[in-house]
């Protein structure tokens, strides 16, 4: 499997990463420990080396499963986890304060049965804690050897830019990865983050690359999915909202194109959707979120799919988010290509 640098860092990560949000979850949307171990084994056999989790996944059980499964082979993977959300009943059991970062990190390391994680993501912006406190605490975690690299998730663009400016000015360890929802049916981050992450040398790490299963081709516009029929229909408390978000004319046009390209290349729709993200220059690794071994096997096949230039262009155009102000004006007058085309010497 191909490996790439994680942003502008020296850490090499497999182009497909194993997401573990479903590990340890109960009910139809979860993956038991046995299934999780099988997925880890298959992922490693396929040449995958990057595994992503979070302390909040299944209340810490995802980390515990990983810790047990990786005993004796921890050095084969780059391991990422996250901190931010509530992990207890106390007033300091959530957020990005120094106290919560270190308490959560120490607990994560115990569950993961390791003395360090390769990447620690801040899982979401914390409106209660000064960002100065957060970036200094993260820097200390790196300097103490508990963390190797830093990542960010679910920050607004200005929040990430502000945090990164503080890191640069104060010579603190920088964010090198940004984990956001990104797929052919969810490209809203492109408006701000595409240029931001490229400018700052931050690697994009897409989650939800199949749009909650939509891009796997398992749905149709005339039939609302039944309960348990894929990720969209099992989102706790948000199944109706998730379906309406995906059940859009534009998305069905994208899906039609994906299926046509898949047929031309003798691939599956999932593989085409993943191959599109792999082909993006700003993407370091794409996180898979398979519930079953069959899904994982299909997803791993994306590394064998090379999309022709015309297919990439067609997918990019069909899935592009309509530009809003000021992006529309910037695209016309403010970017480098437009400026060069209209320059009068």
Query: Which one is catalytic: 57, 121, 149, 276?
Result: 57
Task: Please report, in angstroms and rounded to a whole number, the separation of the first and last CA atoms in the chain.
Answer: 48
- Kindly provide the b/e burial profile for residues 207-217, where b requires at least 16 CB atoms within 10 angstroms of the residue's own CB: bbbbbbbbbbb
Contacts (Cβ under 8 Å, ≥6 apart) of 198? 281, 282
Q: Is 57 a catalytic residue?
A: yes
C-beta separation of 250 from 277 below 8 A: no
C-beta separation of 322 from 188 below 8 A: no
Give the CA dihedral 105, 16, 183, 157, nearest 10 degrees: 40
Pairwise CA distance, residues 165 & 178, whole Å: 15
Pairwise CA distance, residues 277 & 272, whole Å: 9
Contacts (Cβ under 8 Å, ≥6 apart) of 169? none
Measured CA distances, 325 to 192, 199, 329 (Å): 12, 21, 6
Residues labelled as active-site residues = 57
């Amino acid at each position: 499997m191909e490996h790439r640098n994680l942003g502008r860092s020296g850490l090499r990560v497999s182009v497909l990463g194993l997401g573990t949000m479903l590990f340890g979850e109960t009910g139809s949307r979860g993956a038991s420990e046995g299934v999780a171990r099988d997925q880890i084994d298959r992922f490693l056999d396929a040449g995958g080396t990057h595994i992503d989790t979070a302390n909040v996944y299944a209340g810490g059980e995802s980390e515990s499963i990983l810790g047990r499964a990786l005993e004796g082979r921890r050095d084969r993977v780059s391991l990422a986890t996250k901190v931010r959300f509530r992990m207890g009943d106390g007033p300091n059991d959530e957020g990005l304060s120094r106290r919560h970062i270190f308490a959560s990190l120490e607990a994560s390391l115990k569950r993961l049965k390791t003395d360090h994680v390769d990447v620690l993501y801040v899982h979401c912006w914390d409106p209660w804690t000064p960002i100065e406190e957060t970036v200094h605490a993260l820097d200390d975690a790196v300097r103490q050897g508990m963390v190797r690299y830093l990542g960010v998730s679910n920050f607004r663009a200005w929040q990430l830019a502000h945090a990164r400016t503080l890191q640069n000015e104060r010579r603190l360890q920088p964010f090198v990865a940004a984990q956001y929802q990104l797929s052919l049916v969810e490209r809203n981050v492109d408006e701000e983050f595409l240029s931001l992450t490229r400018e700052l040398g931050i690697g994009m790490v897409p989650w939800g690359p199949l749009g909650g299963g939509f891009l796997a081709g398992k749905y149709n516009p005339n039939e609302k999915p039944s309960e348990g029929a894929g990720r969209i229909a099992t989102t706790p408390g948000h199944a109706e909202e998730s379906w309406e978000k995906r059940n859009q004319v534009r998305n069905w046009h994208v899906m039609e194109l994906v299926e046509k390209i898949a047929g031309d290349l003798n691939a599956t729709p999932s593989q085409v959707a993943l191959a599109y993200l792999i082909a993006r220059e700003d993407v370091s690794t794409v996180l898979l979120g398979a519930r079953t071994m069959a899904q994982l096997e299909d997803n791993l096949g994306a590394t064998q799919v090379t999309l022709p230039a015309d297919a990439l262009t067609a997918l990019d155009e069909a899935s592009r988010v309509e530009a809003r102000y000021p992006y529309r004006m910037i695209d016309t007058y403010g970017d480098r290509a437009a400026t060069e085309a209209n320059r009068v010497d």
